Amino acid sequence: AYIRRFKAGIKSKMARGRQSQLDRLERMDAPVQHEEFALRLPPAPESAERVLILDNLSVGYGDNVLLHDIDLVLRKGEKVGLLGPNGTGKTTLLKTVLGELPPLKGTAQIGNRVKVGYFSQSYERLAPKQTLLDNFLVEYGFTEERTRSLLGGMLFHGDDVFKEIGTLSGGQKARLVLLKLVLDGANCLVLDEPTNHLDIMARETVEAALTAFDGTVLVVSHDRYFINEIADRIWELEDHRVCDYKGNYDFYLEEKAKRRLLQAAVPSSAPVQRKAAPEPISSTVKSSGRHKRTYSPQEAEKLLAKVELSIREQEALLGVLEGRMADPASHTDPEASAALAAEHAALQAEIEKLMLRWEELMTAAEALKE
């Protein structure tokens, strides 16, 4: 789909790179899909419209105030991604919401008929020696038919139900924990890095489960692609405050780009200055005609993700700038108009440079796999 969409235009080089990658893949018959095998969580119990009310909230430890003056409402069915560098207070905010820490000021109130389910990576509730079937029969008292149906909804089929829980993969355990939280009555899931240590297939199944979940979700994750698919709202921790973006991660990037352009704006008589985009990767291009650096497949995959994220950020900036250039008022002053044109050319050059980096990394990664 990506190749078809971008085979012509500014992303054609990336599309060609992906076409090259696709051509190298061995063709296989698609597995037979059965409707009853669709991944699904049980419906979430009803809750109040306002699931979480943060009123004049400050959180931290003693005199160390990490976040202050938080006034936010999380509503039923919303899925919020909580973003911020390490040390900004994400875990502290979650602990305050869960009642494990008292607020320094204000309140963190849970709405009526709201039951919070906390996803922990340690999977404490899972009995490693029990089979999936026995665990559900004992813990919930379900019939075998009901248990098989519930587990089937989370992609445990056939003899899978006789596996010991301790032998499950990280992705399987994550799906099992999510199912148990909902069966316990949770209609608001608080998830702390739910995709850590999961492979791509496992991340996609957890993502599918949460996307289909009709309850409320508050998730902390450094996986920006996961956040973009799951979240319809972003809370960013910045300068000891929580900034609210009512959209997914792409929307958040666009809004951040707008703010950067506004902050960089100067009086119309002076040229517009643009802060150079950070280099997403280290030396992967030729250095004065010498050899390229080589990477392991794991390193190449990480670097490709960073380059793609940088491309998206620069494209968001370009979109905002083109919106300004389409406004006739931006061209009343010749110098300001020329500055906008120079800014546009510089952004396009930066995107082209990033695309070349992406193509070189993709070629290197494919060469390493051969």
pLDDT in tens, 277-295: 444 433 333 333 334 455 5
Strand partners, 83: 236
Q: What is the pLDDT of residues 181-226, one digit of tens each?
A: 999 999 999 998 888 877 787 788 888 888 888 999 999 988 888 9
In this prediction, residues 176-182 reach a mean pLDDT of: 89
Q: What is the pTM of this model?
A: 0.62
Closest of 311, 238, 246 to residue 281, by C-alpha: 311
Torsion angles phi and psi, residue 85, rounded to 5: -60, 160
- What tokens does 81 get? 């991604």
**pLDDT averaged over every residue in the chain:** 81
Nearest to 78 by CA among 195, 212, 218: 218
168 Cβ contact partners less than 8 Å away, ≥ 6 residues apart:
176
Between 360 and 174, the more confident residue is 174
Distances in Å between the Cα of 75 and the Cα atoms of 48, 63, 72, 162 are 8, 31, 10, 39
Q: Report the C-alpha gap between 92 and 237 in whole angstroms.
A: 12
Work out the average pLDDT over 15-32: 75
Round to whole Å and give the CA distance between 261 and 245.
17
